[in-house]
Amino acid sequence: MLRNYCFLIIFAVTACATSAQTKPSPSASPGPSVQTRDSAPFNLAEYGVSFQPDARLIIVMAALDAAGFDPTPLGREPSAFRALLRRDQANLDASLRNQLTTYYQRHKLPAPATSADQAARYVSLAYALGPPPSLAAPEHFDELPAGVLDVLDFGPMVREFFKQSGIEGRLPAYVRAAQAESDRLRQPATEMVRAVLSYLHTRPILVTNERVRVKSPDNKKNAQTAYTYRQHERRFFIVPDLMAAPGTVNFRVIADDYYAIVPEGTELFSSELRRASRAGQATDRCARESRRRKLDRRVHGSVEIFDRGCGCAL
């Protein structure tokens, strides 16, 4: 399925796609060239890729687990991390647990929604909240996707959960566990990025300049139009989610940053690499076409990328 190789597709987008409204900065240094296996060590950071366990995601998913969310396949035992989390939360206030459970049950998606579908909106909610300990609500609700708005009222419960559950004291250990999963993913991620760059024969565009019109202070009709350039830095984060539904990769775009949120045990370099590479080639064609026609990208829980200009669909 597309979810199994969305990392490849999205990295191809970040490596190739450039909006018609942007152009390379005149002062920006050229991106790194693709290195061979015999050259200097391959540094993912030079290609805009890094690993970033997120405390907000851990907190929201822990609250969701307390609410009754359980993606463990039937007949299998929960993961070691989920079992640890449940032991840690065994004494959670019964009233709060009931509130969380009631909310989750009332807002469950109807069949045939999967566990991954159920969790996707809460993953988006985690990235809409501020950092702990405040976990502040987003300031501009009109900019949030519909899925987040559906579960936005879960936010106050997450803040109450953070206060009452004692997770703040355990959070450093949970983050270290997520970091250990990041360390496991580092080598396969390196191989995957290397393969994408080699296949596409290109390098990531990490910095772009957006041309922005400057309003004239005197508002004269014949005033000369002035422009300035706003610099954007593209980054790609791989975020381990130890409580995600197995086999499901969530993808989010926040401002200029791309997030691939992967469950524990994900094999990034899968047997579907060849098919993903073909998708990457299609993305490359779209990127070339989008230099003169703006790229229209729509991203949902499962990655969907469309370009009306060149008719490519991944």
Residue 281 included in any domain? yes
pTM above the 0.85 mark?
no
Instruction: Please tell me the distance from the alpha carbon of residue 7 to that of residue 11, in angstroms, as a whole number.
Output: 6
Residues 196 and 283 in one domain: yes
Owning domain of residue 9: 2-53+178-214+227-313
Residues 78 and 129 in one domain: yes
196 touches 202 (CB < 8 A): no
Residue 223 burial (C-beta neighbours within 10 Å; 0-12, 13-18, 19+): exposed
Note the pLDDT tens digit of each residue in 83-97.
999 999 999 999 999
236 touches 205 (CB < 8 A): no
Residue 239 included in any domain? yes
Note the pLDDT tens digit of each residue in 279-296.
444 444 444 444 434 333
pLDDT of 189 reads: 86
Residues 36 and 99 in one domain: no
Range among 114-123, 143-152, 222-231, 247-256 with highest mean pLDDT value: 114-123
Structural domain tally of the chain? 2
Residues 114 and 253 in one domain: no
The identity of residue 61, as a single letter, is M
Residues 35 and 173 in one domain: no
Residue 156 included in any domain? yes
Residues 247 and 204 in one domain: yes
Instruction: Please tell me the distance from the alpha carbon of residue 256 to that of residue 270, in angstroms, as a whole number.
Output: 27
